[in-house]
Amino acid sequence: MTFPQQNLTILGSTGSIGVSTLNVVARHPQQYQVFALTANQRVAELAQQCQQFRPRYAVLGTESAAQQLRSLVSSDVEVLWGEEGLALVAAHKMANTVMAAIVGAAGLIPTLAAVKAGKKVLLANKESLVMAGQLFMDVVHESKAILLPIDSEHNAIFQCLPVDYSGREQAGVRRLLLSASGGPFRTTPLSDLTAMTPNQACAHPNWSMGRKISVDSATMMNKGLELIEASWLFTVDAKDIDIVIHPQSIIHSLVEYIDGSVLAQLGNPDMRTPIAHALAWPQRIDSGVSSLDLIAIANLNFEAPDEQRFPALSLARTAAVTRGDAPAALNAANEVAVEAFLNGAIGFTHIADIVDRVMQSWPLGEPRELGAVQEADRRARAMATQAISQQA
Ligand code: NAD
Ligand code: MG
């Protein structure tokens, strides 16, 4: 099978998704040329990636980090820094595919730059879609960008929908079922949750991921963000999206149709599968992921999420239904609270408390332009920071 060669920009190449993407790309050197790699601060790791993949550009978060990288890589690699550098490599006419794998709100502007430029965008950075919702999807439709989900659940749903999917009614979709592992604290006694440490929260039973999304999985805010992400990606009301806990993480999500058919996508829990799927779409390539051994797995279990254990879920569902700038506020408050938890400033159960406090007093707005989304993000961060200082 022959493929047209893809020139790939990886935003966040030193992260968990970035490294998995390079692992898949390295298996197919004829099909994927690395055009640009970006990181925030990890100069040594980015230098090593530049040596191996020889990109045209490398981008770092600060000027001083960029200076350091210049002394470590060949002069063929142009080293840039900051938001301008990110926007340049995300929208560059030589790059046709962009992996959006920066974590958090920092991914919004570069991801949107890639979408505006009409690229094939592989979306891992769910926070950008959660924040900008309608505005983000409007740009996708205007620019004719191809948006392919990397989040394993959304990638699974994408694979279970018809190829010409244009909305749930036309496709006969009754509901979406997002699967969730339940994270490391699914069975921890509720009274012990307050004492859980960052390392315990980041020790996910099935997936190896960056620290922010690992904490989000422990609170299940990750599933809440994914509910909002799915409602925008697939034009489905939040009320038609259910969450089912499936501790083995083998079924990555399901689509139920009005005739009672339920289609699911299964596979070992390894992000190289959705990454390879999106890179090659509509074709298929080898990802390096081993065959699924159902006999060895033997059992697939399901349970309802416990709203008392995971209060972040109902906070996110409320924001998903409210829309406006509520999801942006929820996301910003959560980012601040997760960082405070990782830094030891607040306890595990305070994460949802802080987000709840911000959302309780959030003055709902309807963002009509990107500046309003960024302003909502800034205000919610300030409110969360204040709530944390009162908590401490
Ligand atoms: P990570 O923390 O491992 O990596 C984040 C990357 O973003 C790094 O390369 C880092 O240098 C870069 N970065 C961080 N802050 C930055 C900033 N301010 N400016 C520029 N670059 C910055 O995160 P991850 O686990 O790879 O997750 C990345 C995204 O993918 C997140 O949005 C996450 O929700 C999503 N996602 C991850 C997984 C997973 O398995 N890891 C699964 C589904 C979705
Ligand atoms: Mg996911």
What is the predicted pLDDT for the residue at 3? Answer: 60
Kindly give the distance from the C-alpha atom of residue 228 to the centroid of ligand 1, in angstroms, as a whole number.
18
Residue 40 Cβ inside 6 Å of ligand 1? The answer reads yes
Yes or no: domain 6-149 corresponds to CATH 3.40.1230.10: no
Q: 0.95 exceeded by the pTM? A: yes
Which residue from 350, 325, 345 is spatially nearest to 221, judged by alpha carbons? 350
Q: What CATH number matches the domain at 324-392, 1.10.1740.10, 3.50.50.60, 3.30.70.1430, 3.40.50.2000? A: 1.10.1740.10
14 CA from centroid of ligand 1 (Å)? 8
Q: What span, in angstroms and rounded, lies between the C-alpha atoms of 205 and 226?
A: 19
Stretches where the chain sits below pLDDT 70 are 1-3, 392
pLDDT of residue 236: 96
Hey, is 20 helix, strand or coil?
A: helix
Q: Is the CB of 215 under 6 A from ligand 1?
A: no
Taking alpha carbons only, the member of 317, 347, 351, 349 closest to residue 333 is: 351
What sign does the dihedral 296-284-172-123 (CA atoms) show?
A: positive
Residue 1, number of CB atoms within 10 A of its CB: 7
Q: Are 319 and 228 spatial neighbours (Cβ–Cβ below 8 Å)? A: yes
pLDDT of 169 reads: 84
What pLDDT score was predicted for residue 190?
Answer: 96
* pLDDT given at position 4: 72
254 lines ligand 1 (CB under 6 A): no
Q: Which ligand is nearest to the CA of 152?
A: 2
Residue nearest to atom 2 of ligand 1 (CA): 210
Q: Is 149 in the pocket of ligand 1 (CB under 6 A)?
A: no
pLDDT of residue 325: 98
Domain ranges of the chain: 6-149, 157-267+295-311, 324-392
Q: How far apart are CA 228 and CA 163, in angstroms?
A: 22
- Give the dihedral sign, CA 324/328/331/337: negative
Atom of ligand 1 nearest to the CA of 86: 20
Q: What is the pLDDT of residues 306-324, one digit of tens each?
A: 999 999 999 999 999 999 9
